[in-house]
Amino acid sequence: MNKNLAKNFASGHSACAGCAFPAIVRTILGESPDPVVISNTTGCLEVTSTLYPYTAWKTPYIHSAFENASATISGVEQAHKALSRKGKVPKKIKFVVFGGDGGTYDIGLQSLSGALERGHDFVYVVYDNGGYMNTGNQRSSATPYAANTETTPVGKESFGKVEMRKNLMEIVDAHHIKYAAQANVAYLADLKKKARKAFETEGPAFLSVFSPCTNNWKFPTSQYVAIAKLATETNFWPLFEIEDGKYKVNWATENPKPVEEFLKTQGRFKHLFSEKNKPVLDEVKKIVKDEWQRLVDKTE
């Protein structure tokens, strides 16, 4: 085990049993060879790791609002440059933002876009659990098509969310940064490799990490790794990198598992297996197939 793995984020936080983001945070920060400074958006990670007067963070940490974590780290990074020129602080520090999909895809997108466009030297990590989980499972633009949430409830007149999820990786790629990658908590070796590349990148780097939510996806707490693995094995959540604008798929198979194997593990999709919603299930399958093909086409 990397000796750095737990030095930045301690146990004793109040994240739900079966939550993925503690493993994501420790794995990523464990790959930094230098001290780190954290900016964290409001969300599940923030509220469960900073229960006053306690904290799970063993490194300089700033809680920012939903909308401005990237702006916060931009200011800190620029202050560090000024102070390091004067010899007042260590020259090598890594700056990291952690945000959920609500604070990244939606409320914090403008701040993230500005920081990427300006070229600040930082790593942005979104732990993607597909909704506003801290406030009760409202839909976000990361929520998959047909998912049942508190604001897209399933009923006689509704089958869940009617919009496709936002393709955030393509939005990030449009900023022409040197490195962006999509990863999964079930594939920690792959996540470590991508974290190392992100920390080695000069300028902004971006990591999007699949993070199952046991509470609001409605699955047993012991199953988050198995469910995350199925997301990639069914092509629902591909593993890939974008380096200098070039796409590379990191995991693929000629015989992906049916996407139903992933969907049936979660209560948020159980309505898709009724006869009434068969056309909706077929549409989910088509979306996954089409999005996978779009990704493959980009690699060619």
Computed over every residue of the chain, the mean pLDDT equals 95
**Structural domains in the chain, sorted by start:** 21-299 (3.40.50.970)
pLDDT, tens only, 14-64: 999 999 999 999 999 999 999 999 999 999 999 999 998 999 999 999 999
Write down the pTM of the prediction: 0.96
Question: Cα-flanking dihedrals φ and ψ of residue 142, to 5°?
Answer: -90, -10
The answer to whether residues 97 and 46 touch, using CB atoms and an 8 Å cutoff, is no
pLDDT, tens only, 61-106: 999 999 999 999 999 999 999 999 999 987 799 999 999 999 999 9
pLDDT, tens only, 113-132: 999 999 999 999 999 999 99
Please say if the pLDDT value at position 159 is more than 90: yes
- The pLDDT score that the predictor gives to residue 6 is 61
